[in-house]
């Protein structure tokens, strides 16, 4: 510029202004700065969280490679590995993605996942290619940056969707962590862990998948299906196994007996008792206690049947505390609980071989069983069992009469009552009269034959063989039927055509023993003389039991229409 | 170098930077153009210092992401492994390829840093009018200008690797963000070296 001025002094000088503005080139550093600051901002925002996890062993952990994977998603990577000062553990520094910040809490658990081959299957196969990885289970508590890794996978967390329940058992058996829980053969969950409780029982934590959680009801029963169970008897042979993996790993199955609308779903924390096997689980119901004098023939698993159908099982048999009897703990299926009432009688059914034939032969093969006759009182849990079958198995609804005899003879309960050698009824019981002057025999005449018994009927004992030997009349053998010879029995006859009835007053008076009232019997007494036979006997009527019949009784042939 | 030398500028002459024709200084405030090739004539490159500074500062800023961010992602058996420049060098040293490691270290880390630092040093010395070792500075600048293009080596290595190693999920190499920053740094430093007018070094050195 000065040169210009010197050379062209006569030319007006241009206005000299300092260059204004900034060169557009400065946009470049500004842009660079913006990019850089954006990167810085991003790295600060995205900065990972550094966490130290202490492992016993760094096997398979590689700096910069080993990742922390949660639910299949990598959320962190091992940044560095250092051995502790005492060489007892390895401190692994892991950098987590920032999203993990909220999950790194005091109870968060970390453990290594390595490939394992077990009867359950091969797990962690992906680690063969990608290397072992660390996985985690989020936990609660305050935020934490230092953790100690677990050596084994922890049980599934209690807030995992699904059902978390407990099984109480006397022993663990062959169950193990990871053993399956099966429902109808489908694996529905698994055993998480187990521990002893204060009572010395084993408490098994079980996790049921969300998918099958609704199958577990409050009334569900769990039972052990580990291994194979053999159950053999002469009537059959049974092999039970749930699933092949249950065979090897052990397992638990459950069934739900009342799978209706009413059944309440089980909720987290419910406990169930673990039955030894499926049968016991199926039979589980009301626990009852039966008191026997003698435990012979009873064992755990002895069936309890009603009308031939199994309704329960004996669980335990032991002497009572005073060692004066046997205490049997049994379980009756819930749906049959209405049978358990005051007055219900229990007794043991054993095979019986006698002159009259064999009874309950099936028990030789299937074993003895306990049966019962239901009562009508209030519900009850403890029963005194009878030593033998009570006189009548079922309440009879035939005609009930009472025979009065001087001596019982060989009459006993269940002895038949014959009319014209046809069995029309049974002796239901024998007892002494209150004043002990006579024996009272209760007889039940089957309903259709009830009209045969009239107020003037005569009863006599037909037990044994009556042999009448006389010098002139020769020998006379009288018997009712073969069974009556062996077992004893009662026969009766009712007066009527065609023989003309000439009744002895004395016998008519015997009929008057009817408890219901002398007036009725007085009438009956008079009508007994009439040709249409006497009035039908009423329930509770009393008759005399003669030792032997009179000849004319045998000739009576009344015409009576039988009932239905 | 003898003192009291007459410079072209003092003699009122301008050299065309394109065809190197020496012309007399123009008159007035009119723009002067080379009579032979028509290029615009300046005594010195216009706003040389400012432009160089801007480019240098930009490249200095971008040097950081270029070196700290991963320059390529190696996928090996489905597992992605991001690598910064230093990771790559470390990898080569570990695998015993010291020469390649040295080459990449030189081309990718040393040279860009050296370039930026060298030019900044020269610029400061001009602005502060430090008149020492001018010849060394000029030599250094020439060296910077010569070596600058070699920094692109790393970019080419990555470009070739991306093309060669591409076996799908088995093994693949994918460029990562730092490539862009690194290439930008190289280009910016080359531009900075170009916008710088070496004659400024010798200004007022009588």
Backbone φ and ψ of A46, nearest 5°: -85, 5
State whether B35 and B67 are in the same domain: no
Residues A276 and A290 in one domain: no
Q: Do A35 and B61 touch (CB under 8 A)?
A: yes
Are residues A258 and A338 part of one domain?
A: no
Q: Is residue A195 part of a domain?
A: yes
Amino acid A506: pLDDT: 43
* A290 and A421 assigned to the same domain: no
**Collapsing DSSP states into helix, strand and coil, what is residue B168?**
coil
Q: In whole angstroms, what is the distance from residue B185 CA to residue B152 CA?
A: 10
Claim to verify: residue A267 and residue A374 sit in the same structural domain? no
What SS3 class is residue A117? strand
Residue showing tokens 């900034």 = A22
Q: Is residue A391 part of a domain?
A: no
Same structural domain, B28 and B60: no
Assess whether A300 and A375 both reside in one domain: yes
Q: Which residues of A have a CB under 8 Å from any CB of B?
A: 3-4, 7-8, 11, 14, 23, 25-26, 28-29, 31-33, 35-36, 39, 64-65, 129-130
B176 with B94, same domain: the answer is yes
Residues A412 and A517 in one domain: yes
Whether A266 has a pLDDT exceeding 50, the answer reads yes
Say whether both A412 and A550 belong to one domain: yes
**How close B14 comes to chain A (CA, Å)?**
14
pLDDT of residue A501: 42
Higher local confidence (pLDDT), B1 or B16: B16
CATH number of the domain encompassing residue B181: 1.20.140.150
Per the structure block, which two tokens stand in for A533? 């036979």
Q: Is the pLDDT of residue A503 over 50?
A: no
State yes or no: pLDDT of A479 exceeds 80: no
CB contact under 8 A, A29 and B54: yes
Asked if residue A520 is part of any domain, the answer here is yes
Per-residue confidence (pLDDT) for residue A442, from 0 to 100: 86
Q: Give strand pairing partners of A358.
A: A353
- Which residues in chain B are contacts of A129 at CB distance < 8 A? 77-78
Average confidence (pLDDT) over A18-23? 66
In a domain, A77, yes or no: yes
Say whether B28 and A39 touch across the interface (CB within 8 A): no
Q: Are residues A406 and A551 in the same domain?
A: yes
Same domain, A121 and A202: no
- What is d(CA A223, CA A232) in angstroms, rounded to the nearest whole number? 20
A235 or A51: which leads in pLDDT: A51
> What tokens appear for A197 in the block?
């409780």
Gap between the Cα atoms of A13 and A1, Å rounded? 9
> B75 and B11 in one domain?
no
Residue A12, both tokens = 């007006």
How many beta-carbon pairs under 8 angstroms link A with B? 56
**Above 70 in pLDDT, residue A465?**
no
| Nearest-angstrom CA–CA distance, A86 and A54 | 13
A296 and A188 both lie in a single domain: no
Report the distance separating Cα B22 and Cα B38, nearest Å: 13
Q: Taking residues A31-43, what's their average pLDDT?
A: 86
Ranges A18-22, A113-117, A434-438, A497-501: which has the least confidence: A497-501
The H-or-E segment that residue A125 falls in is none
- Say if B111 is an interface residue toward chain A (CB within 8 Å): no
Q: What ipTM does this complex have?
A: 0.75
- From the centroid of its chain, how far is CA B175? 22
Q: What is the pLDDT of residue A21?
A: 67
Instruction: Give A55-96 pLDDT, tens digit per residue.
Output: 888 887 888 778 888 887 888 888 888 888 888 888 888 888
* CA gap A224, A182 in Å, rounded: 10
Residues B89 and B27 in one domain: no
Q: Answer yes or no: do B34 and B110 share one domain.
A: no
Instruction: Compute the distance between CA of residue B121 and CA of residue B56 in angstroms, rounded to an integer.
Output: 11
Residue A2 maps to a domain: no
Domain that includes residue B107, residue range:
47-202
Q: Which residues of A touch B194 (CB under 8 A)?
A: none
Helix (H) or strand (E) holding A146, with range, is strand A146-148
> How many whole angstroms separate alpha carbon A418 and alpha carbon B164?
112
Count of domains for chain A: 4
Domain co-membership, B173 together with B140:
yes
pLDDT of the residue at A509: 44
Are residue B100 and residue B198 in the same domain, yes or no? yes
A120-177 per-position pLDDT tens digit? 667 666 666 667 888 888 878 888 888 888 877 776 665 667 888 888 888 877 787 7
Residue A466 pLDDT: 64
Residues A246 and A267 occupy one common structural domain: yes
Predicted TM-score (pTM) of the model is 0.46
Which of A112-121, A253-262, A377-386, B35-44 has maximum average pLDDT?
A377-386
Instruction: Give CA–CA dist A348/A388, Å, rounded.
Output: 7
The pLDDT, as a whole number, for residue A1 is 46
**Do both B75 and B154 map to the same domain?**
yes
Kindly list the distances between the CA atom of residue A259 and the CA atoms of A167, A209, A218, A262, B43, in Å, as whole numbers in the listed order: 20, 19, 10, 8, 102
How far from chain centre, in Å, is Cα A446? 40
Domains held by chain B: number = 2
* Percent of chain A with pLDDT strictly greater than 90: 0
Q: Is the pLDDT of residue B3 over 60?
A: no
| Shortest Cα–Cα distance, B84 to chain A (Å) | 13
Instruction: Please indicate whether residue A124 or residue B84 has the higher confidence score (pLDDT).
Output: B84
- Do B12 and B78 share a domain, yes or no? no
What is the structure's pLDDT at B202?
76
Mean pLDDT of chain B: 82
- A45-50 CB contacts, 8 Å cutoff, 24+ apart: A45/A98, A46/A97, A46/A98, A47/A98, A48/A76, A48/A95, A48/A96, A48/A97, A48/A98, A49/A95, A49/A96, A49/A97, A49/A98, A49/A100, A49/A101, A49/A104, A49/A145, A50/A79, A50/A93, A50/A94, A50/A95, A50/A96, A50/A145
A198 within some domain: yes
pLDDT for B158-196, tens place per residue? 888 888 888 777 788 888 888 999 999 889 988 888 888
How confident is the prediction for chain A on average, in pLDDT? Answer: 76
Q: How confident is the model at residue A519 (pLDDT cuts 50, 70, 90)?
A: very low
Q: Are residues A93 and A181 in the same domain?
A: no
Quote the distance between the C-alpha of residue B191 and its chain's center: 6
Q: For the residues A406-410, what does the mean pLDDT come to?
A: 79
Same domain, B25 and B122: no
CB under 8 Å, gap of 24 or more: what pairs does B199-203 form?
A: B199/B44, B200/B44, B200/B48, B200/B49, B200/B126, B201/B122, B201/B125, B201/B126, B201/B134, B201/B137, B201/B138, B201/B141, B202/B7, B202/B134, B203/B44, B203/B126
Given a cut of 80, whether residue B144 has pLDDT beyond it is yes
B141 and B183, same structural domain? yes
Gap between the Cα atoms of A226 and A241, Å rounded: 8
Q: Is residue A338 situated within a structural domain?
A: yes
CA dihedral B173, B175, B179, B181 (to 10 degrees): -150
Cβ separation A11–B58 shorter than 8 A: no
In this prediction, residues B57-75 reach a mean pLDDT of 87
Cβ separation B69–A14 shorter than 8 A: no
Give the structural domain span for A501: 399-555
């Amino acid at each position: 510029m000065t040169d210009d001025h010197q050379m062209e002094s006569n030319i007006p000088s241009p206005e000299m202004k300092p260059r204004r503005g900034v060169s557009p080139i400065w946009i470049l550093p500004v842009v660079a700065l913006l990019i850089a600051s954006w990167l810085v901002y991003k790295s600060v925002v995205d900065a990972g969280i550094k966490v130290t996890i202490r492992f016993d062993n760094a096997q398979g952990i590689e700096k910069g490679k080993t990742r922390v994977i949660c639910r299949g998603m990598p959320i962190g990577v091992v940044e560095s590995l250092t051995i502790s000062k005492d060489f007892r553990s390895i401190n692994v520094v892991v950098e987590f993605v920032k999203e993990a910040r909220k999950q790194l809490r005091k109870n968060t658990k970390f453990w290594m996942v390595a490939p394992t081959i077990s009867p359950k299957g091969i797990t962690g196969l992906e680690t063969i290619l990608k290397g072992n990885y660390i996985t985690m289970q989020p936990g609660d508590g305050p935020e934490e940056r230092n953790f100690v890794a677990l050596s084994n996978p922890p049980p599934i967390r209690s807030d995992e969707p699904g059902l978390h329940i407990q099984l109480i058992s006397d022993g663990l058996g062959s169950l193990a962590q990871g053993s399956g829980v099966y429902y109808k053969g489908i694996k529905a969950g698994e055993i998480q862990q187990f521990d002893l409780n204060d009572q010395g029982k084993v408490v098994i934590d079980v996790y049921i998948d969300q998918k099958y959680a609704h199958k577990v009801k409050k009334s569900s029963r769990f039972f052990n299906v580990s291994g194979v169970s053999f159950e053999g008897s002469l009537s059959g042979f049974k092999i039970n196994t749930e699933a092949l993996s249950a065979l090897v790993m052990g397992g638990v199955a459950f069934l739900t007996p009342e799978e209706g609308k009413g059944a309440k779903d089980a909720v987290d924390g419910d406990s169930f008792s673990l039955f030894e096997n499926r049968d016991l689980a199926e039979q589980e119901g009301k626990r009852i206690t039966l008191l026997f004098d003698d435990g012979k023939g009873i064992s755990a698993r002895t069936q309890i049947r009603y009308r031939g159908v199994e309704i329960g099982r004996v669980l335990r048999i032991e002497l009572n505390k005073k060692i004066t009897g046997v205490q049997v703990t049994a379980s009756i299926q819930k749906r049959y609980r209405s049978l358990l009432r005051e007055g219900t009688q229990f007794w043991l059914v054993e095979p019986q071989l006698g002159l009259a034939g064999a009874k309950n032969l099936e028990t030789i093969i299937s074993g003895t069983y306990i049966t019962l006759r239901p009562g009508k009182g209030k519900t009850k849990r403890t029963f005194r069992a009878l030593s033998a079958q009570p006189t009548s198995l079922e309440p009879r609804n035939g005609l009930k009469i009472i025979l009065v005899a001087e001596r019982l003879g060989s009459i006993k309960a269940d002895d038949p009552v014959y009319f014209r050698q046809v069995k029309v009824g049974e002796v239901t019981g024998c007892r002494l009269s209150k004043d002990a002057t006579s024996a009272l025999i209760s007889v039940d005449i089957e309903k259709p034959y009830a009209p045969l018994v009239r107020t003037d009927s005569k009863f006599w004992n037909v037990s044994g063989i009556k042999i009448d030997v006389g010098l002139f009349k020769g020998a006379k053998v009288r018997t009712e039927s073969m069974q009556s010879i062996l077992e004893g029995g009662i026969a009766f006859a009712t007066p009527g055509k065609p023989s003309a009835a000439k009744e002895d007053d004395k016998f008519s008076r015997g009929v008057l023993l009817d408890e219901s009232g002398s007036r009725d019997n007085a009438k009956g007494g008079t009508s007994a003389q009439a040709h249409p036979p006497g009035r039908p006997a009423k329930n509770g009527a009393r008759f005399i039991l003669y030792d032997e019949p009179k000849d004319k009784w045998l000739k009576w042939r009344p015409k009576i229409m039988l009932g239905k | 170098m003898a003192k009291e030398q007459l410079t072209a500028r003092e003699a009122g002459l301008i050299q065309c930077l394109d065809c190197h024709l020496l012309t007399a200084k123009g008159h007035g405030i009119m723009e002067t153009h080379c009579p032979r090739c028509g290029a615009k004539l300046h005594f010195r490159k216009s706003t040389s210092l400012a432009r160089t500074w801007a480019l240098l500062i930009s490249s200095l800023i971008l040097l950081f992401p270029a070196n700290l961010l991963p320059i390529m992602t190696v996928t090996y058996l489905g597992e992605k492994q991001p690598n910064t420049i230093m990771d790559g060098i470390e990898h080569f040293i570990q695998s015993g390829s010291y020469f390649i490691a040295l080459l990449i270290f030189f081309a990718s880390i040393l040279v860009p840093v050296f370039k930026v630092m060298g030019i900044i040093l020269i610029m400061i010395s001009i602005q502060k009018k430090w008149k020492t070792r001018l010849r060394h500075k000029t030599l250094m600048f020439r060296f910077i200008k010569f070596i600058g293009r070699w920094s692109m080596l790393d970019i080419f290595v990555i470009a070739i690797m991306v093309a060669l190693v591409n076996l799908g999920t088995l093994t693949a190499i994918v460029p990562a963000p730092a490539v862009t920053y690194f290439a930008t740094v190289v280009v910016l430093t080359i531009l900075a070296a170009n916008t710088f007018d070496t004659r400024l070094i010798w200004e007022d050195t009588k």
